[in-house]
C-alpha cells in the first residue's frame, strides 16, 4: 500500500514531505506504532531522491514524531498527542435536522459487550450459542461456489430468485402467508423493510398509527419521515381499532406477539383492523418478528393471510431465528406498493449482499432452518417455563406476567409501586441485566414493569439470577 503524499513542483521537497508526514501523524492518519515505508521505496513512489526522504525522516525523528529501530525500520512514535478535531460549525449542514436525529433516544440499542451483565434479560436477542455454525458454514461454502459462476454484476433489487422462492415456501408453511416469490423483497433486516414502506407512503404531515406501547425504532423512523405519529392504546386483545383516527395512511402493528407486552391480537380485533384499514385506504404494516416460536394454544393466522383487499404489508426477519448479525429480512408487499418499494430498495442500497442470500437460500432449502427452529423452540420453551414458574411463586408478590404464547420475551407488570430505577441499579451491581417497559411508551404514562428476554440467558442461569432479583425486592421492602 502506498503512503498518501502529494508533492507539488520542485521547490522545498524535503519541507513538503516533512510537513505532510507531520500533519498525518498529528491528525492520527498515521497511528502510533505504524511502520513507514523504507526511504528508498518512498523515494521511488514519489519520484524523489532517497536523500530528500532521509532528511525528512531525520527531522521527524529529531521532533520525536518518528523513531528508528535498527534492523526493523522507521515507526511513528508512541504517545504523540493527537490533534483536536474541529467542533461543529453553527449554521452548517442543516443544524436543526441533524440535531433532530442526534437527539433521538434509542432505548433498544443493545449494550456493548463491556457493559453487559453476566445474567442478561435483554429483549430481542436470540441465543448466540445455539447458532448452527456447521450447517451455516456448509451453506456459505455453497454460496462462495455460486459466486465463482457469477458475472460479477449487481444483483436484482428484489433479491435472489432462489432466496425469494425459499422464503415464500417457508412463510406459507409456518405462517400461512399467501404469496409468490414475485411479491417478496429481500431486505437488510426488518428495519430496512419498515424504512422502505415509510419512504413510499409517507409525506410530511400525514397520519400514521402505531401501538402504544410499541416498538420505538418504528415510531421514530416514521416520525423522521415527517409523519404525524399517533399512538393507539392496546388492551388484552391488542390494538384498540376504534381509536385509529380518520385520514390515517399507515398502521403499524405486531399482532402475533405484541411488542413489548406480548399478548396476541384476537381474531375479532384482527378482522376489525382489516375492515378499518380498507375503509381508510390505509396500509397495515404487520411486523411478524418472532412468531416462529409458539408454545401453547392453536396457531393464529397472520393478518396477511386474512387480507382479501391487498392492504397488508408483511415484514419478517431472520434476526430472531438465526442471528441479528446476518441482517437478513424480507417484505411481502401488496400490489399497491410493490413496484414503488422495489424502486426505493434499488435507490437506497441496490441489493442485499449476494453471498449471504445464496447461503440463506441453501439453508432454508435443505431444511436446516426448520431444524434449527425446532431445536431453539425446545430450549426457549424450557427457559420460558422456568421464568413463569418463578413469577407465579416467590416473585408473585411484586409482578404479574402478561400472558404470551409466542416469541422470546415476556412482560411482567408491577403489582405494587416499585422504584424501578433503583431496582435496575441494584440488579446491575449483582450482575443481573434488567430492562423496564418505560422506554416503549411515548405519549402515555408508562406501566411499571419489566421486559424479560430469555433468548440471551442460559437456562441454568435463570434461577440464580431470579434469586438475586427476589432478594433485592425483599431488601427494598
| pLDDT at res. 88 | 63
pTM of the model: 0.86
Spatial distance between the Cα atoms of 339 and 361, rounded to a whole number of angstroms = 23
Q: Does residue 137 surpass a pLDDT of 60?
A: yes
- Reading the block at residue 448, the C-alpha cell is 411499571
Domains plus CATH for the chain? Answer: 13-76 (1.10.10.10), 113-128+371-476 (3.90.1150.10), 130-369 (3.40.640.10)
Q: 82: part of which helix (H) or strand (E)?
A: none
| pLDDT at res. 97 | 77
| pLDDT at res. 262 | 95
Q: Does residue 116 surpass a pLDDT of 70?
A: yes
- Reading the block at residue 204, the C-alpha cell is 410530511
- Reading the block at residue 392, the C-alpha cell is 407465579
- Reading the block at residue 400, the C-alpha cell is 404479574
Grid cell 456459505 in the structure block, residue? 140
User: What is the pLDDT averaged over residues 114-126?
Assistant: 84
Percent of the chain with pLDDT over 90: 83
Residue 55: CA atoms inside 13 Å, Cβ hemisphere, count? 11
Q: Does residue 20 surpass a pLDDT of 80?
A: yes
User: What is the pLDDT averaged over residues 366-387?
Assistant: 96
- Reading the block at residue 180, the C-alpha cell is 409468490
Spatial distance between the Cα atoms of 244 and 207, rounded to a whole number of angstroms = 10
Spatial distance between the Cα atoms of 350 and 220, rounded to a whole number of angstroms = 24
| pLDDT at res. 83 | 66
Tens of pLDDT, residues 149-178: 877 788 899 999 999 999 999 999 989 999
User: What is the pLDDT averaged over residues 390-407?
Assistant: 95
The mean pLDDT of the chain is 92
Amino acid at each position: 500500500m502506498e503512503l498518501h503524499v502529494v508533492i507539488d513542483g520542485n521547490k522545498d521537497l524535503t519541507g513538503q514531505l516533512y510537513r505532510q508526514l507531520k500533519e498525518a501523524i498529528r491528525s492520527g492518519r498515521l497511528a502510533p506504532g505504524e511502520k513507514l515505508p523504507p526511504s528508498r521505496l518512498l523515494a521511488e513512489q514519489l519520484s524523489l531522491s532517497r536523500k530528500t526522504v532521509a532528511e525528512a525522516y531525520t527531522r521527524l525523528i529529531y521532533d520525536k514524531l518518528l523513531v528508528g529501530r535498527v534492523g526493523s525500520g522507521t515507526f511513528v512514535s508512541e504517545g504523540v498527542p493527537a490533534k483536536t478535531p474541529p467542533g461543529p460549525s453553527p449554521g452548517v449542514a442543516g443544524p436543526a435536522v441533524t440535531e433532530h436525529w442526534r437527539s433521538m433516544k434509542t432505548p433498544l440499542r443493545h449494550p456493548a459487550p463491556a457493559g453487559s451483565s453476566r445474567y442478561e434479560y435483554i429483549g430481542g436477542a436470540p441465543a448466540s450459542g445455539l447458532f448452527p455454525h456447521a450447517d451455516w458454514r456448509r451453506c456459505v461454502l455453497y454460496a462462495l461456489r455460486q459466486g465463482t459462476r457469477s458475472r460479477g454484476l449487481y444483483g436484482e433489487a428484489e433479491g435472489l430468485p432462489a432466496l425469494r422462492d425459499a422464503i415464500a415456501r417457508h412463510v406459507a408453511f409456518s405462517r400461512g402467508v399467501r404469496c409468490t416469490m414475485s411479491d417478496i423483497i429481500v431486505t437488510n433486516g426488518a428495519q430496512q423493510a419498515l424504512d422502505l414502506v415509510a419512504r413510499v407512503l409517507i409525506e410530511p404531515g400525514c397520519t400514521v398509527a402505531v401501538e402504544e406501547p410499541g416498538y420505538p425504532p418504528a415510531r421514530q423512523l416514521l416520525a423522521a419521515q415527517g409523519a404525524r405519529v399517533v399512538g393507539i392504546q392496546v388492551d388484552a386483545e391488542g390494538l384498540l381499532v376504534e381509536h385509529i383516527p380518520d385520514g390515517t395512511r399507515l398502521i403499524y402493528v405486531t399482532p402475533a406477539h405484541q411488542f413489548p407486552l406480548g399478548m396476541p391480537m384476537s381474531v375479532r380485533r384482527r378482522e376489525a383492523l382489516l375492515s378499518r384499514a380498507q375503509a381508510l385506504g390505509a396500509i397495515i404494516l404487520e411486523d411478524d418478528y418472532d412468531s416462529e416460536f409458539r408454545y401453547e394454544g392453536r396457531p393464529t393466522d397472520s393478518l396477511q393471510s386474512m387480507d382479501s383487499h391487498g392492504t397488508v404489508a408483511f415484514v419478517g426477519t431472520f434476526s430472531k431465528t438465526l442471528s441479528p448479525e446476518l441482517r437478513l429480512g424480507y417484505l411481502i408487499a401488496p400490489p399497491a406498493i410493490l413496484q414503488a418499494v422495489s424502486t426505493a430498495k434499488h435507490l437506497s442500497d441496490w441489493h442485499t449482499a449476494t453471498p449471504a442470500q445464496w447461503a440463506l437460500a441453501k439453508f432454508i432449502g435443505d431444511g436446516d432452518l426448520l431444524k434449527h427452529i425446532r431445536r431453539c423452540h425446545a430450549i426457549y420453551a424450557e427457559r420460558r417455563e422456568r421464568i413463569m414458574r418463578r413469577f407465579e411463586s416467590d416473585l408473585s408478590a411484586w409482578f404479574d406476567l402478561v400472558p404470551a404464547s409466542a416469541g422470546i420475551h415476556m412482560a411482567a407488570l408491577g403489582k405494587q409501586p416499585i422504584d424501578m430505577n433503583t431496582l435496575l441499579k441494584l440488579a446491575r451491581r449483582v450482575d443481573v441485566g434488567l430492562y423496564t417497559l418505560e422506554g416503549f411508551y411515548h405519549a402515555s404514562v408508562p406501566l411499571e414493569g419489566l421486559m424479560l428476554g430469555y433468548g440471551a440467558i442460559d437456562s441454568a442461569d435463570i434461577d440464580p439470577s431470579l434469586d438475586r432479583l427476589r432478594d433485592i425486592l425483599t431488601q427494598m421492602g
